[in-house]
Structure 1
Amino acid sequence: MSENKKEQEQPRQEDSLEKEEAQNKQITEMGQVVLNKNLRKHKVELLTVIGEVEGHESSPSQSKTTKYEHVLPKLAMIEDDEAIEGLLILLNTVGGDVEAGLAIAEMIASLSVPTVSLVLGGGHSIGVPMAVSADYSFIVPSATMVIHPVRSSGMFIGVAQTYRNMEKIQDRITTFVSQHSHTSKKRLEELMLDTTQLVKDVGTMLEGPEAVAEGLIDEVGGIRDALDKLHQLIDGKV
């Protein structure tokens, strides 16, 4: 091999290593990565929502969290980047801050690029709006989704105004979910207020096929199905 060729290949290898290191750091810190090695040459952004959705208050340091101050700028960058053709969202969340979860869900729903979500493990509580916010949603057979009324932690003032405020927050959630799924607000409220399923709470736990049967999620499937669907949506948009 000639000296010139060696000199040309060395910077390429260094650039490749730098990109790989940057990608690994991004995965470690925020669970985000660009998927661009597919045969269709589509540039797909991956976003993971893992653990508790953290809002205005920090969760304990030992908790796995998804910070909305990381996710919202990333979604804005995806919308602004012409090279990004689609977004895949992987969810395994216990829920968390209502305001933060709804903010993320609204951002995903308003993106101009095709979006597909996949629920793995769990898509509980405020994870439900995030799961249905995508253009198309999948859930693996073993995953679960918990639907329950809005809850409040800390001091609670037991007056009529407080209860009305809780009802308004709950109405925002049920309205969003019904508008982005095939489930009605009435059915969602029935699932939220079921007293026969959860031992220490009111609500309903749905397994993968049940979530599809209720119209919350579009289809039972895994990562292959989710990526195939996203590529189809991207091809259909072109």
Structure 2
Amino acid sequence: MTDEERFDEILGELRELLLDLGALSTPVMLIGGQVLALESKRRGGSGVIAVETDTGVAVERGFSFEPDLLFDMDGSEFMAGRLPEVFSGRGFSRRSKGYRWSKDLPSGQRMDLDLFAPGDVEVDALPTQMTPLLDSRVALRRSQQVSLTVGGKSLAILLPDAVGFLTMKERAKREHRPEKSKDSFDMFVYVKLVGAQSTREALDSAGDEGERLRARLKTLFWSRDAAGVQDVLTYASQHSSDEQELLAQAVVDLFDEL
């Protein structure tokens, strides 16, 4: 089984889970790396998290096999009890990390689901253990439903828009995982996928919120030596020094367009 086939199997199970959730799926949004994967597939790609610059330098992070799901808990008291039942009914079981549910798929690969809730929700109000996520209200407020075909069937799910996705990723880099490089890489890939113009328009439409995010992004990607640019270069270690220089300049130029 290829990585692309493994990824499609994950998406197929995610589709069936959302169907089983029924009304409970309405406030569910996909976050994290799989947002990039679905944005790629919507544009005819394979779902691999990768980018190619205008100069032909290609770098990739691979496929994301672990869906991260954010549940909007507002007015969703009816989830209590029902949500764990649906997960269990589909063969998922809770792992030692209480926010993670896992299932062995027919191919033999394990699918891990990580559950998140808005950071302002009382822990006692959650239907099952979830990780509180700051800034998620921004993403939920600006979410958009997308549909794509997986295995001949339609998968419909909420995705964050540019402001929502970049807000969560920038905070993760700044506060939660400053030593990790994947969040910066994901921000670069996202802006390349959706385009600098669309990202700029989303930032403009978000008013002061968008301006603050724009300033933080430019701090992260303002020069060749900036932290975000250096993070992207960690994924191009196998490239020549000339190619790395071209990539670094491409990152700076892209975020300068915002």
Fold shared by both chains (TM-score > 0.5): no
Structure with greater proportional helix content: 2
TM-score computed with the length of structure 2 as normaliser: 0.28
